Structure 1
Amino acid sequence: MSEGSPGTFSRIADVDALRAVALLLILVVNVAFFASGYSFHLVPDPAHDSWGDQAVRWVVEALLAMKAYLLFSFLFGYSFTLQLDSAARRGVDFAPRFRRRLAGLFVLGILHAVLLFQGDILATYALLGLVLLAMRRVAVGTALHAAVLLTGGIGFVLALAAVGGVQLVTDPAEALAAGQRSTEALQGGIGSVIAEHVRQLPAMVGTLIVQGPLALSAFLFGYAAGRRRLLTDVVGNRRLLRRAQQLGYPIGLAGAVVFASGGGTANLTGLTVGVLTAPLLAAAYAATLLEFFQTDRGRRVVAVLAPAGRMSLSNYLGQSLLCVLVFTGVGLGLAGAVAPAAVLLIAVAIYGVQLAASTAWMARFQYGPVEWLLRAWTEQRWPRLRATAQT
C-alpha cells in the first residue's frame, strides 16, 4: 500500500490497532487458564484467594470477560466484508477460497486446542464462518435482526435454566479436587499438558453452546458495520459512536457488576446478565478506541499497535505458546505458584514482547508467519512474504 493513499492506510491501521487491543484483552482473560488448573473448573485457586486476589479476578470478570472475544469476533465479521470486496474487485470466486481458509483455520484451531490451549476459539470461528459465508448476501437489517435474536435467545435459555435451579458447579468440593488435579497436570511435562488439554475438550464443547452463538452474533454485527462502512469514516459516524458509548457504558457496566458479583461464568444468573449486556460494553469500548485513534496521541498509539493487529493470528497462537512456556512444566512450571496480580503483569509483559516482535517482523514482511501459511493454503500457491518497498 502506498503512502499516497493516506485515507485508506488510516482506515486499515485503525482496524488493525483495534484488533491489537482485542488481543491484549483476550490474553488478560485467558492467562488465568494457563496460570492455574482451577479456572477451567469454575472455582478459585484456594492458594490465591485473598481479598486482593479476589479483587483482581473480579475486575477482570467485570470489565473484560465475555467482552474481549466479542470485540475480536466483531472484527472477524468486519474483515469478512473487506475480503468480499477484495474478491469482487479482483474478479475471483470468493466462496471456495473462503472455505479453504476456514478449513485451514479449523486445523490450526484443533492443533492449538490439543497442544497449547484447550480454550481455543479458532475452530469455532471456522465452523461459524460457514454460516457467515451462507449469509453473505443478506441485507444489513436482516443481519442486525439475526444478531439481536441470537443474543436474546441465548439469554432467554440461560434465564430459564437459572430459574429452573440449574447449577454449573454442582459439587464445589469435587471441583476443587479437579482443579488440583488439573494444576498438577499443567506442572508436568509436555505429555501431561497435552493429556490435560484433551481431557478438558468435552467440557469446552459445552462452553461453546453459549460462546458460539454470541460469537456468531458479533460476526453479524461486524458484517453490518462493514457493509455500512462504519469504520471507514469514523468522523462521519461520530454520532453513532457516541450513541454506542452513551448506551453501552451505563447498561454494560451495570451488567458487568451484576455478572462479576454474581459469580461470573460460574453462575447462571450472572451469566445471563453478562450475555445480554456484554455486547453493549464491548461496543462502547470499540467506539471509545476509534474516537481516540483520531487524535494526535491516538495516531501515535495506532502506529505502535497496528503491526500486532496485522499479524493477529500469529500473535494469538504466540500468546498461548509463551504462556505454556511460562506456566507449564514444559517451561518454567509456574502454574499454581503465581498470584492473580502477578499473572496480569506477566500477561502485559508477554504483550509487550509481542508488540516489539510484531513491529520488527512487519517492517520486513507482508504477513505474519501463520498468516502467510494460511494464505498459501487458501490461494494454493506460495505468496511473496518479504515486504516490497512502498512508493
Structure 2
Amino acid sequence: MSQEEFPRPQQAPHRPSYTEPDGRPASPAPPLPSQHEARAAAPPPSRPRIAALDVIRGFALCGILLANVKPIAHMVDAVPVTQAVVTKGQGGEEWPGLFVDQRFFPIFSLLFGVGFSLLLDSASRSVARPRVLLLRRLLALLAIGLVHMFLLWRGDILTIYAVVGLVVLLPSTWLPRWAVAGLAAILIVLPPILGSNGVPLVPGLFLLGSALTRYGVIAGIERATWGPVALFLVFVAGAVAAAWLQIEASADDTHFNPWFGVAGLLTAGTYVCGVLLLLKTPLRSLLQRIFAPLGRMALTNYLTATLLVLLTASLIGGSPDSWTSATVVPIAGGILAVQWLWSTLWLRSYRQGPLEWLWRWATWARRPPLR
C-alpha cells in the first residue's frame, strides 16, 4: 500500500504570528461573525416595488377618505365600519351606500395581509428571527393607532389592524398556506351569515391577502390577464345582484341589512380587478402618476387626512349631518389633491413617507436610509 492510501493526519490550520514594531505579539484578529450574527446584522432587504399594489392602495385610500369625511368631522364614538346599519348613504343619498361605504376598507385590509407576508418573506432571508421583526412592526402600529384614536379620532382603524395582526395574522405564519386559505374563506363567509359587517371581516381579509402572497398570486399580479378578466366579470355580476338586494332590504327600514357587507366585498373585488385591467391599457402611466404616490405614503396620508378634515370642518362650521355630497366630495377631493402634491414632491427626494420611515425604523430596530 502506497503512502497516499493511508489517511493523512489532520493538522491544525497554520496561524501566522505577527508582532508589533516593538517586538510584542500582536493582538489576535477578531473572529469572523457566525452565520447567525451575519444574518442578524444584514441590512433591510430591498425588494422591487410592485407598482400595481401602490396604485390599488392609493385608489383605496381615496375611497376611504370619501367614506370617512363625515364621521371624522362629526367625531362619532363608534368606528364607522362597525355600524351594522344600511342607510341611503350620506345625507340620505343612494350612491355612497352603493359605491363608497364599506367598498374600500376591504381592499385596504386585503393589502395589509399582502404586505405582511411580503415582509415576512423578505425578512426570512435577512434576519434570524423574522417573526420578532413582525411583532415589533405590529406593536409600533398599535402605538400609532392608539395615539391617533385618543388624540384625534375614535374611529381609527390602525388599532384594530394591529390587534388583529397580533392575534390572527402573526400566529398564521406557522400554518401551512392551505390552512391559511381555508381559514380565510371561513372567516370571510361567516360574518355576513351571522349578521355582521365591517371589522369582523378584517381577520379573513388579512388571511386572504397572506394566502394570495404565499401561493405566488401577488408575485405574478402584473403578468396576469385572463384571471382578472374572469374575476372582474364574476364580481360585477355578484355586486349588481347584491346591490339590488341591498336596496330591497333597506326599504324595510330594518336595523341591519344582511346584503350590505356582501355587496361591499363584491364591489371591492370589482374595483381591484378593474384597476388591474386598466393597468394593462395605455392608462397605466396616468394611473401610476395619480394613485401610486398616495399609495406609497398611505400611512402618512391616512393620518394627516384626519387633521385636514378636522381643520376643514372647523372652518365650515355647522353639523356634518347636514352635509350632502356637494360638500363631502369637494372636501375629500381638496384634501387628496393636497396629499397628492405633497406625496409627489416628497418622493422625488426621499425613498418613503416620513411616518413610513419611522415605522420601518421601529420594525427593523435600526435607522433605515431615508434618501
Compute the TM-score of the two structures, normalised by the length of structure 2.
0.77
Whole-Å Cα distance in 2 between the matches of residues 140 and 41 of structure 1? 31
Alignment of 1:317 with 2:303, yes or no, is yes
Asked if the contact 1:144–1:221 (Cα under 8 Å) also holds between the matched residues in 2, the reply is yes
Which residue pairs with 2:357 in the alignment?
Answer: 372
Is 1:333 aligned with 2:317? yes
1:358 maps to 2:343: yes
- The answer to whether structure 1 residue 231 and structure 2 residue 267 are counterparts is no
1:101 to 127, 137, 148: 137
Shift of 1:326: 0.7
Corresponding residue number in structure 1 for 2:327:
342
Q: Which amino acid aligns with 1:28?
A: L
Confirm whether residue 111 of structure 1 aligns to residue 150 of structure 2: no
In the alignment, which residue of structure 1 is the partner of 2:284?
298
Which residue, out of 222, 234, 240, partners 1:253?
Answer: 240
Q: Are residues 157 and 90 of structure 1, via their aligned partners in 2, closer, same or farther at CA, if it must alter by over 3 Å? A: same
CA distance 1:101–1:235, change in 2 (3 Å): closer
Which residue in the other structure is 2:273 paired with? 287
User: Structure 2 matches for 1:57-136, cutoff 5 A?
Assistant: 58-130=94-166, 131-136=168-173
How far off is 1:235 after superposition?
A: 5.8
Q: 1:41 to 1:94 in 2, by over 3 A?
A: closer
8 Å contact from structure 2 (residues 69, 309) kept in 1: yes
- What is the letter of the counterpart of residue 365 of structure 1? Y
- Residue 57 of structure 2: aligned partner: 19
Write 1 or 2 for the structure with the bigger share of helix: 1
Q: Distance in 2 between matches of 1:50 and 1:303?
A: 33
Q: 1:32·1:340 contact (CA, 8 Å) conserved in 2?
A: no
Unmatched segments (≥5 aa) in structure 2: 1-46, 81-86
Instruction: Name the aligned partner's letter for residue 232 of structure 1.
Output: A
1: distance between equivalents of 2:332 and 2:248?
A: 24
Distance 2:89 2:204 in 1: 36
Q: CA deviation at 1:238?
A: 2.2
How many aligned positions are there? 316
C-alpha distance in 2 between matches for 1:148 and 1:86: 26
Q: How does 1:27-42 map to 2 (within 5 A)?
A: 27-36=65-74
CA RMSD of aligned residues (A): 2.8
Distance (Å, rounded) in 2 between the aligned partners of 1:294 and 1:348:
26
**Larger relative contact order (Cα-Cα within 8 Å, sequence gap ≥ 6):** 1
Aligned equivalents of 1:372 and 1:86: distance in 2? Answer: 17
1:41–1:246: structure 2 CA closer, same or farther, 3 Å change rule?
A: closer
- Contact 1:80/1:223 (<8 A) preserved: yes
Name the SS for the 2:202 alignment partner.
helix
Q: CA deviation at 1:305?
A: 1.8
Is the CA contact (8 Å cut-off) linking 2:191 and 2:200 kept in structure 1?
yes
